Amino acid sequence: MNTDQNALASEEQKLLACIHCGLCLEACPTYVITGNENDGPRGRLYLMRAVAEGRLEDTSSAFQTHIDRCLGCRACEQVCPAGVEYGQLLESSREVLQHAQPKSDMANRMLQLVLRHIWLSPARLRIFFGASRLFRNLGLARLLLKSRLAGLISPRAEFALALLESSRPAFRNRGTPSQPDQRGEDVLLFAGCVGEGLFARVNRATKRVLRANNFNVSTPKDQVCCGALHAHAGDLEGARELARKNIVAFDSDAPIVTNAGGCGAMLMTYGHLFANDKDLAGQAAKFSARVRDVSQQLETSGMRTAPSSGEDYVTYDTSCHLLYGQCAGDASERMLRTASGNKFIALNGTERCCGAAGIYNLMQPDMSQKVLNEKLAHIRETRAGILATGNPGCQMHIGAGASLAGMSLRVCHPIELVDQAYEHSGLYKNSHKEAQN
């Protein structure tokens, strides 16, 4: 057994917790699609255990194929009577795989290069997102998608363009300036790399809504990416490098507020990431305990309500990481319902992943599309014109899928609808007056 296998071998007690009951199978989107035991949590746990015990090579194609096909949605954890910590076992498996994968695997090498040389460098990441925004805002992604060239590009490249295009604002934003802070609790906003790079409007809306509910919001300037992409790709050292910087940047006792389910779930795992680091374990655990979704933070103050400002019917899809990682899916839906009133239509299958799963949609396009098709079918049934979801990855993925499928659907973050409702009802003006008094 080599050193890399030890990442999984050291988790043996967690692997042994599985009692093989199979209650998780129907909750697993990939098992439901293929019907293959190895595409379900129980089969994947068998494979992990075989690798941990040295009965299966970590380079085996079965291990790689079925671990790569896992969405990491953690729906299986919720239904498991034995409390198997599947998400943590998956991260260890991906760390093993990252070292075991042949150097000739171009897609994996490209991914590791991007994660190492762009995502770990805030300056390069700013340039990357600046260029992406320019490409999007000049309409080049849209032009390429509509031009004859669309037939010449690969389906994967076409989907990547549609992802970028769907990060555009769903609404015209009048850009009400954020009001001055009032007396109230201090909170720190985690802006996120994709969040600040392509969805800065969502961060601005988050600040406006928090301030209108009397929170003093600040955005620590030395914060970096949460490390979720690194952790999902098996680069736990890269994830730790970023996590250390965030722990320093957010050094205070104030709540850490996020508006992205993926980031929030990752920030909440810092405690586990440093569990064996005697210098950082305590600090990392305290950091994770301070993390909450914006909807959870607003509920602590009894969120101000405002009537809906739009005519369209609204539906809501919970991001898996918000639902299973942060356990904030209900709070986020309640927040949205306050802003959409009787225009809210419940969506079937919100407990199921949409197929985005970080960059799963680009690495496993076929399976991702199958998972997405089910989600789009449920969205069609609602006949809603707007879908809100609390994670930029899901927002882009559902938006891209809907647009390529010819659906007329605007996709946004729930906080954008709350922000619009506040603006429409004059609540910001009132906040301003109160602040001046």
Q: Is 352 in the site for ligand SF4 (CB under 6 A)?
A: no
Q: Does 304 bind ligand SF4 (CB under 6 A)?
A: no
CB of 373 vs ligand SF4, minimal distance in Å: 16
Nearer to ligand SF4, 38 or 403 (CB): 38
Tokens linked to 199: 């969805």
Nearest approach, Cβ of residue 351 and ligand SF4 (Å)? 10
Closer to ligand SF4 at the Cβ: 3 or 13? 13
Which position among 7, 8, 15, 24 is part of the footprint of ligand SF4 (CB under 6 A)? Answer: 24
Nearer to ligand SF4, 80 or 331 (CB): 80
Edge-first strand order for the sheet with 186-189 is 216-218, 186-189, 256-258, 291-293
Interface with ligand SF4 (CB under 6 A), residue from 66, 74, 208, 304: 74
Interface residue with ligand SF4 among 4, 14, 15, 30 (CB under 6 A) is 30
Burial tier of 128 (Cβ tally within 10 Å: 0-12, 13-18, 19+): middle
Q: How many CA atoms lie within 13 A of 129 on its CB side?
A: 17
User: Could you tell me which stretch among 73-81, 150-158, 204-212, 267-275 binds ligand SF4 (CB under 6 A)?
Assistant: 73-81
Applying CB under 6 A, does 19 fall inside the site for ligand SF4? yes
Q: Which stretch binds ligand SF4 (CB under 6 A): 19-27, 110-118, 168-176, 200-208?
A: 19-27
Nearer Cβ to ligand SF4 (80/421): 80
What's the rounded Cα separation, in Å, for the pair 214 and 102? 54
Tokens describing residue 280: 């950082």
Select from 25-33, 55-63, 123-131, 341-349 the region that touches ligand SF4 (CB under 6 A). Answer: 25-33
What residues from 34 to 63 belong to the interface with ligand SF4 (CB under 6 A)?
41-42, 44-45
Minimum separation from the CB atom of position 400 to ligand SF4 (A): 20
131 binds ligand SF4 (CB under 6 A): no
Pick the stretch among 13-21, 97-105, 240-248, 303-311 that binds ligand SF4 (CB under 6 A). 13-21
Q: Does 84 bind ligand SF4 (CB under 6 A)?
A: yes
Closest approach, Cβ 97 to ligand SF4, in A, equals 14
Q: Which of 48, 70, 322, 336 binds ligand SF4 (CB under 6 A)?
A: 70
Q: How far is the CB of 77 from ligand SF4 (least distance, A)?
A: 7
Count the site residues for ligand SF4 by CB under 6 A. 26
217 closest CA partner among 283, 303, 304, 294: 294
Residue 23 as a binder of ligand SF4 (CB under 6 A): the answer is yes
Which residues contact ligand SF4 (rule: CB under 6 A)?
18-24, 27-30, 41-42, 44-45, 70-76, 80, 82, 84, 86
